[in-house]
């Protein structure tokens, strides 16, 4: 319940980033999770949709346009966060009552400057690995996912919780 309220406050307070979502200002009373929906239906409803991924870690909030592809991969686009130079991501649903949505996202960033002196560090890159676990919520014909973000170590092991996320369905806005 706390995460739902936190996500609603996060959504309501966020500035318009990429695609305005008219449903993002709904109240918690309207966020009814459809428990009667079959597992396969939940998977199908997420596939091939455009979402706005809102990530909150510490005081930072980032918004990224993302597509959940039917083959289980993700496609990232515009972001108002740090610009990544590469990414790899997969999503799935697991048949569990709590947090059935899962997504692994590896984003590669570049840093530094060209080495001029022998003491300069030079250019380098690093990868940020995150695991997203969340619950699916239906609001009419739109779907949202909200949950926690976990840090992944270099071996892919789940570390600790570092923040919260919301996937906000942008499909309805594209149809208008």
Return the pLDDT at 39: 61
Nearest to 42 by CA among 51, 33, 55: 33
Q: Domains (ranges, CATH) in the chain?
A: 2-175 (2.40.128)
11-15, 36-40, 79-83 — which one is most confidently predicted on average?
79-83
The answer to whether the predicted template modeling score (pTM) of the entire model surpasses 0.95 is: no
Handedness of CA 102, 164, 7, 68 (dihedral sign): negative
Average pLDDT over residues 88-116: 90
Cα dist. 121→2, 6, 37, 114, 169 in Å?
44, 41, 54, 8, 42
Nearest to 133 by CA among 171, 154, 160: 160
What average pLDDT does the structure give for the chain? 77
pLDDT tens for residues 48-97? 889 999 999 988 999 999 999 999 999 999 999 999 999 999 999 988 77
Say if CB 48 and CB 67 are below 8 A apart. Answer: yes
Nearest to 37 by CA among 85, 100, 80, 90: 100
């Amino acid at each position: 319940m706390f995460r739902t309220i936190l996500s609603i406050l996060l959504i309501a307070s966020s500035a318009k980033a990429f695609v305005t979502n008219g449903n993002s200002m709904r109240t918690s009373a309207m966020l009814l999770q459809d428990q009667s929906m079959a597992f396969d239906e939940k998977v199908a409803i997420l596939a091939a949709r455009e979402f706005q991924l809102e990530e909150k870690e510490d005081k930072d909030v980032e918004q990224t346009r993302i597509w959940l592809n039917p083959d289980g991969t993700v496609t990232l686009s515009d972001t108002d966060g740090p610009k990544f130079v590469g990414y790899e991501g997969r999503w799935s649903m697991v048949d569990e009552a709590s947090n059935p949505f899962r997504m692994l996202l590896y984003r590669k960033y570049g840093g530094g400057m060209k080495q001029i002196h022998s003491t300069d560090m030079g250019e380098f890159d690093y990868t940020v690995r995150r695991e997203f676990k969340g619950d699916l919520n239906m609001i009419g014909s739109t779907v949202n996912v909200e949950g926690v973000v976990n840090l992944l170590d270099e071996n892919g092991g789940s570390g600790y919780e570092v923040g919260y996320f919301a996937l906000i369905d942008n499909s309805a806005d594209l149809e208008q």
